[in-house]
Each structure stands twice: as structure tokens, then as C-alpha cells.
Amino acid sequence: MNIKQAKEELINTLRAYLAKDELGNYLIPANRQRPVLLMGPPGIGKTQIMEQVAAETGVGLVSYTITHHTRQSAVGLPFIEKRTYDGREFSVTEYTMSEILASVYDLMEQTRLREGILFLDEINCVSETLAPMMLQFLQNKTFGNQKLPEGWLIAAAGNPPEYNRSVRDFDVVTLDRVKRMDIAEDFAVWKEYARRKGLHGAVVSYLDSKRENFYRIETTVDGVQFATARGWEDLSELLFAYETLGLRAGAEVVGQYIQLPPIARDFAGYLELYAKYQRTWRVDEILEGKWAAVSVSELRTAPFDEKLSVLGLLLGRLGREANGVRMQDALTELLHADLTEFKARLAAGTGAAEALLALEDARREAMRRAAAAGQTDKERRSLEQRELDALGRYRQGLADGAVGDELAMDAVRQWFGAEVEARRAAAEDTGRRFDSVFRFLEEALGDSQELVVFVTEITAGYDTSWFVEHFGCEAYYRHNKELLLDDRRARLRREITAERSGE
């Protein structure tokens, strides 16, 4: 299965394990809740989906790379306990709580979450002394005499032997006690993820044209060389940072992430071309509807690969514009809920400044718990920080303007109105840019294959499709309707041909 299917199955498994009957007992007893074992090549996203599952289901997440642990840290240290049997006192060996299990209890204390996922990475690369304890844990959910709390799913990940010489094979007894999922790389699924996460346009457009370079591991005379999904995502983050700082990423820098030299050199060359296209095609002018006539004729006669790169530049900018609108929309939704709660606190007799401060503290505590539970990501942190900043401005505004409690609601409502207006203005500006890009492409490309690609990518893009769904785009609707009609005609032609061939 691919990583997306594995994520869906993990969510379904977690839901099944956490489901309870009318008496509050788990439908599947703890001893029948098999640990999930993910087996697949390195760098395809096994760790990331654990974070996504925790965030989407609202449970806690504790992650460990098990190769970093010794038998003592995983199992605990022995100590002597005195016990009495049949009137005689005996010295008995006990164990302190495992560091891993203690981390689960710590998270439960910090977040008040009683259920979660304990993720153990590189499970089949443990040391020889730790291996028996890990097998016991997978089979019985215990380290020494300490047990994993109920409501916690054990998820483990490992690499097949062809990718790691130090792996250990699981015996039949262990495999018969786990729920195994074998995962393979899948570019189409990764591309969907890349759009959602807003990965660098150069990375996405390059791999879209050279999918064979997305994931490769080769054994050469110089050792193992590889390009992985993890490497491309981390490189994307670096490219954004380098652009902000005005730095250039050459082949050596690319090679620090994409550790297969031919691919690293090829992508570094593409980066140079991508930067040239950014300068040549002046995307900002196209978005503002101010392109020169020569740009139209040049794109019309450009090679197919260059046309696709220009489409990638335009899609990347529209995606960022749409993301800005989506984030502002999400912020207004959060602040509207805050406004409702603020009104209720005022009605209950709480002072305005005190009510806003209490809201800030509650939101800050929610952020802390989400971070401790492994439920947050870059986008969510940014959105919640913007919410906190807005609440702080409202509170400061009341203090600076000496606004009394009786007028506080009107003042805060007015400030909130500015956020709503910002959303409206951002949506209008982005809508005009969508229209400008479509007019430019219609003038340059007409009803071409490239325009079909552009419409398809708008549909597949997370932020662009969200924007069209919520704010509309007449040019998109027109071309998408024509595309669907063409698809229907092609399907009918295939059906007719098939029927005739059967006569």
C-alpha cells in the first residue's frame, strides 16, 4: 500500500481500538489490540503520518527512535524489594519504570489526554541486548513489570533488510502478534501531500517532469546513494530560507539532501533554469494583468518543458495567494468564536480586560497541550499565534483607549470587523489575480494541452481548489466544464469503439 492508504488504515485501526461499548469497556480487549508494524523503505513518510494521525484524531503522540536506547533506558533499572512469603522474607528483583513508559505517563499528565500512540521507529534495528525486551513489549505491552496504559496504540516502523544491514528478522511468534503493513513509495500520493504542505515550486515541478528521480536507492562503488521523499521535503524548506536570505543553492548544497550525485546535479541545473524563468517571465506582472505582448508570443512559441515550468511558477504564486486567504479566513473563524466567548464572559459580569486575558491564557494553554501531545504543525502554530496576537491587541486597545466595560464589546467587534474586511480584500485581490493568469494563458496558449494541465493542477491543489470552491473563478468554471465535456466525449468514443469491436 502507499503512505496515504497506510494513514487511513492507521486512523481506522485507532478508532477501532478506542471504540467502547455501552459500559465504557473497549470493544477490542487490550490483549487483542495488536501493535501496528509499518515496514517500508526509509524516508517515505512513516514518521510524518504518525504526527498527522495524532493531530487529526486528537490523541497524544510519544515518539522514540529505538536504536538510541539501551536495555536499561527501555526496561528500567533493577532494584531489590523485600517481600514476605509463608512468613519468610525474600529479596526480589524489581525494575524502575521504563523511560519510554514514563514518557507516556508524562504526556498524559501534561495534556490530560488518556489515549494516544506510542511510536517506536527503527524497531528492527535494536541492539542484541534490547531485542528480547522489545519483542516482549510488542507481544505483551510490558517492559519488565510495567505495562503500557490502556487506550494506547503501539505503532512501530522498520526498514526491510535490503535497505539496512543491521536489521533483525522477526520470528513467526512475533509477526503473529502484530498488524503488519508493507508500504511502498508513491509519487502521486506524495505530490498531493507536497501541494498541501506548500513545498517549493521548483521541487514539485522538477519531480513532476522527472518522476523517476523522486525515490531511488542505489548501491555503488562509493557506497549507498539515494534520493528520498524526506530529502526532497527538507531541501524544499532550505530553498525557501535561501531565497529569503538571497542565497543560491548549488549542486553541493543540493547534494547534502539528495545524496545521489546525478540527480543532485540535474536538479541544481533545473534550479538555475527555474530562477531564470522567475526573472524572465515576471510573474508579478502577469498576476497584476500588466504583461507585455512579447511575453504572450514568447510563451506561445516556447518549448513544452518551459511552458510547464512557467505554469508551475504561476501555480505556485496562486497557491501562496490562496493560502493567504485561507489562513485569514481561518483566523476570522477563530476570532469569531473568541468574540462569542468574550460576550458571554461580559454578560456573566467579568471585566473586559480580565475576560480577554482569560481568553489569551486559555488559548495559550491549548497551544501548549497540543504541542506536548504532538498534535501541532507549522501552519497550526502560525494560525494560533496570530489569534493570540489579535487578542493581545484587543486588550491593549481597550487599555490605551480607556474603554469602559460597557463599550468594550462594541470596540472589540469593530476591531474584529477589520479582520473580516482584510479577508474580503484579500479574496478580491486573489480573485483578480486568478482572472489575470487565466486571461494571459488563454491569450498565449488558447485551448491547448498546457491549459488543460493548468486547470487540472488548480483542481488538485489544496489551496487553489479551496479558493475556487469558496470564492469562485468564472474562467476556471468555464475551462473545467469544457474539460469535463471533453472527458465525457472521449469516454463515449471509447465505449462506441469497444462495442463496434465486439460486433
User: Cα 376 to the chain's mean position, in Å?
Assistant: 10
CB 63 within 8 A of CB 121: yes
Mean local confidence (pLDDT), 422-429 = 96
Spatial neighbors of 264 by CB under 8 A, at least 6 apart, are 227, 251, 254, 255, 258
| Residues of the chain above pLDDT 70, percent | 90
Stretch among 61-65, 433-437, 484-488 having the lowest mean pLDDT: 484-488
pLDDT value at residue 502 = 54
Interatomic CA distance for residues 81 and 97, integer angstroms: 14
pLDDT band at 74 (very low <50, low <70, confident <90, very high): low
pLDDT digits (tens, 9 = 90+) for 304-331: 888 888 898 899 899 999 999 999 999 9
- What is the rounded radius of gyration, in angstroms, for the C-alpha atoms of the chain? 28
pLDDT band at 127 (very low <50, low <70, confident <90, very high): low
Interatomic CA distance for residues 52 and 98, integer angstroms: 26
Interatomic CA distance for residues 298 and 444, integer angstroms: 8
Average pLDDT, the chain: 85
- Pairing state of beta strands 60-65 and 116-121? parallel
Q: How far is CA 158 from CA 2, 36, 172, 185, in A?
A: 15, 11, 16, 14
CB 148 within 8 A of CB 154: yes
Q: How far is CA 170 from CA 51, 149, 312, in A?
A: 26, 25, 45
Give the residue from 217, 281, 283, 276 showing the smallest Cα distance to 248. Answer: 276
Residue 184 has pLDDT above 90, yes or no: no
pLDDT value at residue 164 = 61
Residue 391 has pLDDT above 90, yes or no: yes
Mean local confidence (pLDDT), 213-217 = 90
**Which string of DSSP letters, residue by residue, matches 358-376?**
HHHHHHHHHHHHHHHTT--
Kindly provide the b/e burial profile for residues 171-191, where b requires at least 16 CB atoms within 10 angstroms of the residue's own CB. Answer: eeebeebbbebebebbbebbb
Mean local confidence (pLDDT), 333-356 = 92
Better-predicted residue by pLDDT, 171 or 278: 278
Residue 336 has pLDDT above 90, yes or no: yes
Residue 96 has pLDDT above 80, yes or no: no
Q: Per the structure block, which three cell numbers stand in for 47?
A: 514518521
Most confident range, picked from 106-110, 125-129, 304-308, 491-495: 106-110
pLDDT band at 495 (very low <50, low <70, confident <90, very high): low
pLDDT value at residue 162 = 65
- Residues facing residue 118 across a β-bridge: 62, 154
pLDDT value at residue 142 = 81
Give the residue from 153, 142, 77, 89 showing the smallest Cα distance to 115. Answer: 153
pLDDT digits (tens, 9 = 90+) for 219-238: 888 788 899 999 999 999 99
Residue 237 dihedral angles phi and psi, to the nearest 5°: -60, -40
Interatomic CA distance for residues 138 and 314, integer angstroms: 49
pTM: 0.78
| Residues of the chain above pLDDT 90, percent | 34
Question: SS3 breakdown of the chain: % helix, strand, coil, rounded to 5?
Answer: 65, 10, 20
Interatomic CA distance for residues 120 and 63, integer angstroms: 6
Interatomic CA distance for residues 84 and 202, integer angstroms: 71
Better-predicted residue by pLDDT, 5 or 77: 5
Residue 383 has pLDDT above 80, yes or no: yes
Stretch among 30-39, 41-50, 112-121, 239-248 having the lowest mean pLDDT: 41-50
pLDDT digits (tens, 9 = 90+) for 138-155: 777 887 777 888 889 989
> In one letter, which amino acid is 269?
G
- Pairing state of beta strands 78-85 and 116-121? unpaired
pLDDT value at residue 68 = 65
Interatomic CA distance for residues 457 and 451, integer angstroms: 10
pLDDT band at 165 (very low <50, low <70, confident <90, very high): low
pLDDT value at residue 473 = 92
Better-predicted residue by pLDDT, 131 or 400: 400
Helix axes 449-460, 405-445, angle to 10 degrees: 160
Mean local confidence (pLDDT), 106-121 = 89
Q: Per the structure block, which three cell numbers stand in for 350?
A: 467579568
pLDDT value at residue 277 = 86
Interatomic CA distance for residues 415 and 393, integer angstroms: 9
CB 457 within 8 A of CB 309: no
Residue 19 has pLDDT above 50, yes or no: yes
Interatomic CA distance for residues 484 and 265, integer angstroms: 40
pLDDT value at residue 496 = 45
- Pairing state of beta strands 152-158 and 78-85? unpaired
Spatial neighbors of 73 by CB under 8 A, at least 6 apart, are 98, 99, 100
**How many residues can be counted in the chain?**
503
Residue 489 has pLDDT above 60, yes or no: no
> In one letter, which amino acid is 339?
L
pLDDT band at 261 (very low <50, low <70, confident <90, very high): very high
Interatomic CA distance for residues 91 and 81, integer angstroms: 6
